[in-house]
Amino acid sequence: MQEMTGRSGAVLRVDLQAVQNNYRLLSQKLGKAQCGAAVKADAYGLGAIPVSGALYAAGCRHFFVAHLEEAISLRPHLPSDARLIVMHGSPVGYEAEFLEHGCMPVLNSLAQVSAWRALAKQQQRALPAIVQFDTGMARMGLSAQEVEVWRNDADFLEGIQVEYLMSHLVSAEDASHPVNAMQLARFNDLRGLLPQAKASLANSSGVFLGAAYHFDLARPGAALYGVAPVAGQANPMQAVAYLQGRIIQVREIPPDTGVGYGSTWRSRDTAKIATVAVGYADGWMRSLSNRGVAQIGGQEVPLVGNVSMDTITLDVTAIADSELQEGALVDLLSASNTVDQVAARAGTIGYEILTSLGHRYQRVYR
């Protein structure tokens, strides 16, 4: 673990062992299916290089990113047998860079299929790729009309070595949602176009929908990083991110004193206010104004006033002065104030909390 310094306004601890444990739990639930990992968006804000290294050590060999640039940045930090898969496919004109950097595209459109086919012809060899179907997201993947082009073109995949057929679930976190069964049926039907190909459908929540959704490869993301995969159920995943902010100063204010921009909170009685060096520039969202909480010595304290760019203010009237020294750390993300709980107070989802975490924190990797 790195040495901690006091120069930063906050400390973000990332428990790589918890990431590995979460990966192993998901792998066990998948049975014979392989477990990949979504490490896009800098591993959901937690650091793609250290997180991917920990996942590789735990047995992961399929790493999913969104952009080619993400894959190129990560490639030198993983062994050659790690497969880097770019879910957005190739930017127009950059197909050859996939070969140069040992990456594989997901082909989402007729244009991407055509460009990859042309590169294979130029290279005079089959090139690996994943082909994605849109089964209900209306976002990426071959549409119904594009699938018909495939059905009517015997050379549609000429020169393309299809590693997996893939689609993405819309509402897997809600096991009772009928769209899950609808997408599964569509996916199984579309797999008939290339029945010998392996398949990938399950995201984090899809892993918990059961064996019918597992196929050959799952690609969890948020669950690896501690976000609850199933709505309304206890979270089986271990917490990964722990965030602590530093107290800059503490002051006592008289009754009826406004705090922060706009004075959106006013003290009813004499109060102690701690200013902490975390703000919306660090991803601590402004929607947490007068709604968020922190913990000091295990005791919950409310965030009062508006979140500023660089600071938040806490009502610490109930906390002993001995715990409020300048430079002391307060807990913002912890096992008892989880990313999902913070997200609920902010009116968003755990994914957004994690991916918004800023780069001014001192990051400490266990």
Q: Give the residue among 302, 301, 278, 286 at the shortest CA–CA distance from 347.
A: 286
Q: Quote the CA–CA distance of 250 and 274 in Å, as a whole number.
A: 4
Annotated binding-site residue? 139: yes
Strand (E) or helix (H) holding 259 = strand 258-259
Q: Quote the CA–CA distance of 13 and 342 in Å, as a whole number.
A: 16
Annotated catalytic residue: which of 23, 29, 40, 361? 40
Phi-psi region of 288 (alpha: psi -120 to 50; beta: other; left: phi over 0): alpha
Task: Give me the residue label for tokens 């673990």.
Answer: 1
Give me 358's structure tokens: 């800023």
Annotated catalytic residue: which of 44, 225, 242, 261? 261
CB 146 within 8 A of CB 128: no
Secondary structure (DSSP) of 13-79: EE-HHHHHHHHHHHHHHHTTSEE-EE-HHHHHHT-HHHHHHHHHHTT--EEEESSHHHHHHHGGGS-
Annotated binding-site residue? 125: no
Neighbours of 252 (CB within 10 A): 11
Q: Quote the CA–CA distance of 152 and 207 in Å, as a whole number.
A: 34
Q: Quote the CA–CA distance of 176 and 134 in Å, as a whole number.
A: 21
365 is catalytic: no
261 is catalytic: yes
- Three-state DSSP class for residue 280: helix
Strand (E) or helix (H) holding 251 = strand 241-253
Q: Quote the CA–CA distance of 222 and 41 in Å, as a whole number.
A: 11
Summarize the annotated binding site for substrate as residue ranges: 139, 309
Could you tell me which residues are annotated as the binding site?
139, 309
Instruction: Give the catalytic positions in this structure.
Output: 40, 261
